[in-house]
Amino acid sequence: MPSIVAAIVGRRREAPRVRPRSVIPGRQRWDIGVVLGRPRVAELLQASLRESRGIEMVYANPATGRLLVCHDTALSRGEVDQLVRKTVALAARQAMTLTGSMPPKPGVMPSRGRRRQNTGSALVVSGGAAVALVVTRATFVRPSPLVGLGGVVVATVVVVRRAWRRSRLAQHVSAVSLRSKRHPLLQIAGSHKRQFYVASCASILVQILDMVPSILISWMAVVLITGKSAALVRLGLASVASQLWFLTGVTALASVVAAVLSFIAGVLWRDLAQSVQQEWRTEMYAHVQRVGLRYLEGERTTRIAGILTNDINQLGRFFAASADYFLKLGTSFLVLVPVFLFLTPGIAWVAFLPVPIVAWLSFSYHERSASDLATSSENVSLLNSQLVNNLEASATVKSFGAEQYEIDRIHHLSAVYRQTNRRIDKRAAAYTPTVRMCAMVSLSGILLLGGLDVLAGTLPFGVFNSLVGAPQLVLWQLPGLGDAVDQYQRTVAALGRVLDLRSLQVEPGGSGRPLDVAKVQGEMVLDGVTFAYPGRPPVLRNVSMRMAARKTTGIVGVTGAGKTTIAKLMLRFQDVESGRVLLDGLDIREVRLQDLRKAIGFVAQDAFLFDGTIDDNIRYGSFDAEPERVVSAARLAQADDFVEALPSRYDTMIGERGATLSGGQKQRLSLARAIVKSPPIVILDEATSAVDNETEAAIQRALKDFARDRTLVIIAHRLSTIRHADWIYVMDRGGVVAEEGTHHELIAREGVYASLWRLQIGEASA
Ligand SMILES: Nc1ncnc2c1ncn2[C@@H]1O[C@H](COP(=O)(O)OP(=O)(O)O)[C@@H](O)[C@H]1O
Ligand SMILES: [Mg+2]
């Protein structure tokens, strides 16, 4: 009971400090005590927050204990507050269950903690125990070979399982394994399964052949020391010299074949890695192109881009880097364990005694260095950004006489960085000697026990001599185990994310009633439409509108009233919840999606221009339009003047090295793009919001002809944009139509529109 109380009190004292530092819409900075000096907690916190809806970017810094969260402005301050606190508590708890106890919080500079010393002492104890066991067992009792070996196997399994469970990636791995009966690696290999099997066979053969020379060389020594080998005499090799020739020949042959096979295996694995990446990349790019916008909107672009690049590369990386390793390690065990059990059962367990110890060393080395490397890279980026910041702000620094303050700040960060790196270097330097020590201890054990058996006459000298070095083959491979298991887990976790993305539904582009775009009249009707984004209150409530064929309809309203949403519904980026959207009297859900979108030209609020020339951008979607059409569209959109003034005119590259365009210029280019497409219906969503009033008026005059036989829907918050429309809808908050009519009718009505008009006219003349 007291221990429970103590635990609770102790945990209370550990209660993490979670405090907002600065909060502005869309961006919050926090002080999170529990993250300070704990890269794993920072990593967990980052990972969990990134999974949350509405969170766009997260950065938790273990060097400063700070957290930066950028989020969708639709999330309220309170919601983010709650989310952060909940996730911090969860991450802290998760870190505790993963490590058994929280790693010590070492102040800003993560220093050598209690656990690290535990590691060292545990190592010494286990090493000492091993030696003691070997020595005492050698002279007094010999365990039954199976019991001894069983113990070694159990210890190995315990080490590997523990390391596996501690990894935060393990849960992804089990999630992926649960989803399909097929092994994740076979799922990844896909249609390249044959190559996977062939490469596997090559790796296994290479390992077997690799073991041959070391055994044959020992055999040669036996032949030299003891005279002829009876086994070889039976093969017809009577003289020592011929036996030496034979053994040398086989050794050389095995080495040559192993080298050739090893080359083939290397090529096969790398080629498999490339093919797998290529196949998944092609499939996933095509898939993402076809996924409905409604699903993509819920995802962060950087996350999807991350899956399409990093995760897909990771799918191949395991085959290129670690598959060969696992097969070779497995083969070594499968060959050596039975050989030892069969030929020298008495010393088999000693030979493999270091396996669990080296495996454990490998995992703990990998785990520690991974978290230290993470801290180190955090620290270096912190140092860099501080430096850049400092240089950019040099006028401010000098004017406040803060040079010494800045010097101290950089000095401190640099010291933190050095401290982390020192620990990484020390650990790396200690790793190999420790592994070597373990291997040597086991070798001495085999020498002693085997030697005693040889003396007692229970073990032939030839067998002893041939096998004495064999376990080293396995031991030298083991140090890479931590890294290889990590690669495997990363690969399966990446597969999980790729499969999640692949499960997003694609649009049924080709099904439905075909539509002859040339015959479209262009009347669009919203009939009692209600719509809500997932998990949000309705944006549109029972909205009815009629966009008359070959007329101009204006939609105005405050930001967030749902104007863009109406455009999305007309294009079927989203589907209505209730009500209908009709095109020429036809429910658009019945129309073939491709045709619907061919019939509508859409200039989005945030005009997007692709990397390429201005010409490429205007003819986007109408790829084979004649140059004259491109120029005349640019003229209508009032883009011609500024394009002509650019150095390479229509061939000017847009982007870093080319012209940097203003918001209004970009808008005019995307307007030109819609004009080139020349569809029967055109929706302009705030398409001229960044254009000055004069140019806007010019665009309106120019578009008159273009709009004559088309249905034009103009969405705007500036009333001058739509005042000449044939019919105007005024949207109000709450997703309802507040007023409708022509400009003059609405002014006469003295309602929302009229007061907005007065306000904007006042603004314009102010
Ligand atoms: N993809 C989305 N997911 C969730 N909410 C959204 C999404 N797009 C818009 N909204 C919300 O719907 C409301 C209406 O948005 P929108 O149609 O863009 O308004 P407007 O174009 O009139 O400014 C806003 O409150 C906005 O936050
Ligand atoms: Mg909008």
Q: Is the CB of 562 under 6 A from ligand 1?
A: yes
- Judged against a pLDDT cut of 70, whether residue 451 lies above it is answered with yes
Question: Dihedral of CA 278/281/286/289: which sign?
Answer: negative
pLDDT averaged over every residue in the chain? 81
Tens-place pLDDT, residues 586-617: 899 888 888 899 899 998 888 788 888 889 88
- Judged against a pLDDT cut of 90, whether residue 456 lies above it is answered with no
Identify the band that residue 380 occupies on the pLDDT scale cut at 50, 70 and 90: confident
- Judged against a pLDDT cut of 70, whether residue 112 lies above it is answered with no
For range 652-675, the mean pLDDT: 79
Quote the pLDDT of residue 272.
Answer: 95
Residue 222 lies in a domain: yes
DSSP string, 19-47: EEEEEETTEEEEEEGGGTT-HHHHHHHHH
Tens-place pLDDT, residues 334-344: 888 888 888 87
Quote the pLDDT of residue 291.
Answer: 87
Residue 223 lies in a domain: yes
Q: Name the one residue in this structure whose structure tokens are 């204006």.
A: 554
Identify the band that residue 143 occupies on the pLDDT scale cut at 50, 70 and 90: low
Tens-place pLDDT, residues 11-55: 444 455 788 888 888 888 898 888 887 777 787 888 778 777 778
Residue 62 lies in a domain: yes
Identify the band that residue 530 occupies on the pLDDT scale cut at 50, 70 and 90: very high
- Judged against a pLDDT cut of 90, whether residue 735 lies above it is answered with no
Which residue's CA is the closest to the ligand 1 atom numbered 18?
564
Residue 377 lies in a domain: no
Which of these, 569, 586, 587, lies nearest to 531 by C-alpha position?
569
Residue 411 lies in a domain: no
User: Are residue 467 and residue 560 in the same domain, yes or no?
Assistant: no
Q: Domain range for residue 74?
A: 11-99
Cα 72 to middle of ligand 2, angstroms: 15
Q: Is the CB of 292 under 6 A from ligand 1?
A: no
Quickly count helices (H) and strands (E) in the chain.
Answer: 31, 16
Tens-place pLDDT, residues 673-720: 989 988 999 999 988 888 888 888 888 888 888 888 899 999 988 888
Q: Is the CB of 574 under 6 A from ligand 1?
A: no
Quote the pLDDT of residue 1.
Answer: 42
Quote the pLDDT of residue 13.
Answer: 42
User: Are residue 486 and residue 544 in the same domain, yes or no?
Assistant: no
Look up the CATH number of the domain holding residue 42. Answer: 3.30.70.100
Ligand 1 atom index nearest CA of 559: 23
Quote the pLDDT of residue 321.
Answer: 87
Residue 180 CA, distance from chain mean position: 21
Which residue's CA is the closest to the ligand 1 atom numbered 17?
562
Residue 366 lies in a domain: no
User: Are residue 537 and residue 644 in the same domain, yes or no?
Assistant: yes
Q: Is the CB of 565 under 6 A from ligand 1?
A: yes
Which residue's CA is the closest to the ligand 1 atom numbered 16?
562
Which residue's CA is the closest to the ligand 1 atom numbered 5?
533
Q: Is the CB of 645 under 6 A from ligand 1?
A: no
User: Are residue 590 and residue 641 in the same domain, yes or no?
Assistant: yes
Residue 246 lies in a domain: yes
User: Are residue 565 and residue 487 in the same domain, yes or no?
Assistant: no
- Judged against a pLDDT cut of 80, whether residue 505 lies above it is answered with yes
User: Are residue 322 and residue 210 in the same domain, yes or no?
Assistant: yes
Quote the pLDDT of residue 125.
Answer: 44
Identify the band that residue 201 occupies on the pLDDT scale cut at 50, 70 and 90: very high
Quote the pLDDT of residue 527.
Answer: 92
For range 570-598, the mean pLDDT: 90
Cα 565 to middle of ligand 2, angstroms: 7
Q: Is the CB of 533 under 6 A from ligand 1?
A: yes
User: Are residue 489 and residue 595 in the same domain, yes or no?
Assistant: no
User: Pick from 441, 470, 502: which residue ends a domain?
Assistant: 502
Residue 44 lies in a domain: yes
User: Are residue 495 and residue 530 in the same domain, yes or no?
Assistant: no
* Cβ(292)–Cβ(573) below 8 Å: yes
Report the DSSP pairing between strands 653-654 and 711-716. Answer: unpaired
Question: Ligand 1: which of 293, 530, 536 to mutate, judged by most atoms within 8 Å of the beta carbon?
Answer: 536
User: Are residue 467 and residue 611 in the same domain, yes or no?
Assistant: no
Which ligand has its closest atom nearest to the C-alpha of 536?
1
User: Are residue 570 and residue 690 in the same domain, yes or no?
Assistant: yes
Cα 566 to middle of ligand 2, angstroms: 9
Q: Is the CB of 167 under 6 A from ligand 1?
A: no
Look up the CATH number of the domain holding residue 595. Answer: 3.40.50.300
Q: Is the CB of 537 under 6 A from ligand 1?
A: no
- Judged against a pLDDT cut of 80, whether residue 462 lies above it is answered with no
In the chain, how many domains are there?
Answer: 3
User: Pick from 77, 99, 121: which residue ends a domain?
Assistant: 99
Which of these, 716, 630, 699, lies nearest to 665 by C-alpha position?
699
Residue 332 CA, distance from chain mean position: 34
For range 352-376, the mean pLDDT: 80
Look up the CATH number of the domain holding residue 255. Answer: 1.20.1560.10
User: Are residue 591 and residue 623 in the same domain, yes or no?
Assistant: yes
Ligand 1 atom index nearest CA of 533: 4
User: Pick from 51, 78, 99: which residue ends a domain?
Assistant: 99
Quote the pLDDT of residue 133.
Answer: 52
Cα 730 to middle of ligand 2, angstroms: 14
User: Are residue 624 and residue 750 in the same domain, yes or no?
Assistant: yes
- Judged against a pLDDT cut of 80, whether residue 399 lies above it is answered with yes
Identify the band that residue 434 occupies on the pLDDT scale cut at 50, 70 and 90: confident
Residue type, 422: R
